[in-house]
Amino acid sequence: MSRGTAPLESEVMKIAYLDCASGISGDMMLGALVDAGVELSALQQGIDSLDLPSCRLVANEVTKRLFRATQVTVEHEPEHAHRHLSDIVALIEGSKLTPRQQDLAKQIFTRLGEAEAKVHGTTIEKVHFHEVGAVDSIADIVGTAIGLDLLGVERLHASAVPTGRGTIEIAHGRCSVPAPATVELLTGIPLAASEVEAELTTPTGAAILATMVDQFGPLPNMTIRRTGIGSGQRDLEEQANVLRLLVGDATEATDQDASAEVFMLQTNLDDTTGELVGYCTEQLFTAGALDVTSQAIQMKKNRPGILLTVICESAELDTMRDILIRETSTLGIRYWSVARHTLRRQVHEVSTPWGPVAGTVAWRGEHQITFSPEYESCRAVAQAENLSLSRVYEAAQAAFDSDRIK
């Protein structure tokens, strides 16, 4: 959660993980934060400074499908105000929240405003917040900003998120789940399939994810120090309607494989020249692709073709898709989330008789460390010294001393 300046209690980075098996909403997030140890009174004190009409947080221990959780309810006087973003920003800036808490809250509301503006074809200044401008949603978002700040979370991770299915009634009438603003906010974020006939992820929950989460995927390398389970208001037949929050210290990757969720894109090309494929590959790598490969394939009517495969992180999915459409003749792209296992590795440099050569060290077991010289570095030395590339590779490998690696 690299937004604003986080408090540092030690040199160890404090991280948190959101397990969104039943989606996420503002009240679920508040419940998880309180359950993880954030004092309800601290949240209440911050929300009181917003000068909202008699807004009170109430926390209760509940059971969801035999799982204990904390449920936080926002109680307030009835109101019919439709606030603009500027109105909410004024409330936040006039409060007694810390600068970081204000910054986090404003970032979430700004992200919401951008989504609402796009959905309704207007500007962010003219957006009327309906449900998310109500007192309870303001309390949810501001309370989330306060809670994450008080926990000292510096980086936030989250699982893929289910949205649910069916229809819901909003201020603009009945619509399908996920709601339009939720769809906009979750663009580029990995989703999880769900058969639950309910709105599992609300616009407020989606805005928290879209704004605060640094990386989506499986549980990161961490030592768990505390956990919190927040309850949604609804009881689901299929599963416990809860959000799990795990808070702890980041740990370095061990000799075991590190896991991460990435996206794979593929397209079949039968009328794109090799030059265009080569240029497209360069553009994909420049834009942040983790890997790009091409493979000769046999297509229908016995036409030879090319299978172009791209691997990228979730944040780059839209960019990769746009490049493929722009730079090739494709009429369609397949993409899906995949699990990726990578070895622990680090950049390393060795000294050869002709100068330094860069490469990568990898841990392949408890006592097995390998070194791979980097091609461009070897090529530069070979050209400068009028040597064969293989000789430079061999010298770099011979210069590597695994005992000097920590």
CA–CA distances in Å: residue 161 to residues 18, 135, 294, 398: 10, 25, 31, 48
For residue 244, give the amino acid letter. R
Chain centroid to Cα 199, Å, comes to: 21
Q: Tally Cβ neighbours within 10 Å of residue 357.
A: 24
The pLDDT value recorded for residue 158 is 93
The pLDDT value recorded for residue 366 is 65
The pLDDT value recorded for residue 175 is 84
- Domain borders along the chain are 14-250, 258-342, 345-404
The pLDDT value recorded for residue 300 is 82
Distance between CA 148 and CA 44 in Å, rounded? 14
Quote the tokens at residue 358: 């860069």
Beta bridge partners of 370: 362
CA nearest neighbour of 263 among 325, 211, 189: 189
- Which fold, 258-342? Alpha-Beta Plaits (3.30.70)
The pLDDT value recorded for residue 80 is 66
The pLDDT value recorded for residue 216 is 87
The pLDDT value recorded for residue 130 is 56
> Would you give per-residue pLDDT tens digits along the chain (406 residues)?
645 444 433 457 899 999 999 999 999 999 999 999 999 999 999 999 998 878 999 999 999 988 999 999 999 887 766 788 888 999 999 999 999 999 999 999 999 888 888 887 888 887 767 555 588 889 999 999 999 999 999 999 999 999 999 988 876 678 888 988 899 999 888 888 888 999 999 999 999 999 999 888 888 888 999 999 999 999 999 999 999 999 999 876 444 444 467 899 999 998 889 899 999 999 999 998 999 999 999 888 888 999 999 999 888 899 999 999 999 999 999 988 887 777 888 888 899 999 999 888 888 876 788 899 999 899 999 999 999 999 999 999 999 988 777 6
CA–CA distances in Å: residue 364 to residues 194, 315, 346, 357: 37, 29, 13, 22
The pLDDT value recorded for residue 7 is 41
Strands 222-231 and 242-250: antiparallel
CA–CA distances in Å: residue 22 to residues 12, 70, 110: 30, 15, 25
Distance between CA 228 and CA 230 in Å, rounded? 6
The pLDDT value recorded for residue 406 is 61
The pLDDT value recorded for residue 302 is 82
Within 57-174, where are the H helices? 85-93, 99-120, 135-151
Q: Tally Cβ neighbours within 10 Å of residue 118.
A: 16
Residue 178 preceded by cis peptide, ω within 30: yes
Distance between CA 342 and CA 218 in Å, rounded? 13
Burial of 404 (0-12, 13-18, 19+ CB in 10 A): exposed
If you ran DSSP here, which 8-state letter would residue 65 be given? Answer: T
Distance between CA 304 and CA 313 in Å, rounded? 30
Helices 135-151 and 203-212, interaxial angle, to 10°? Answer: 30
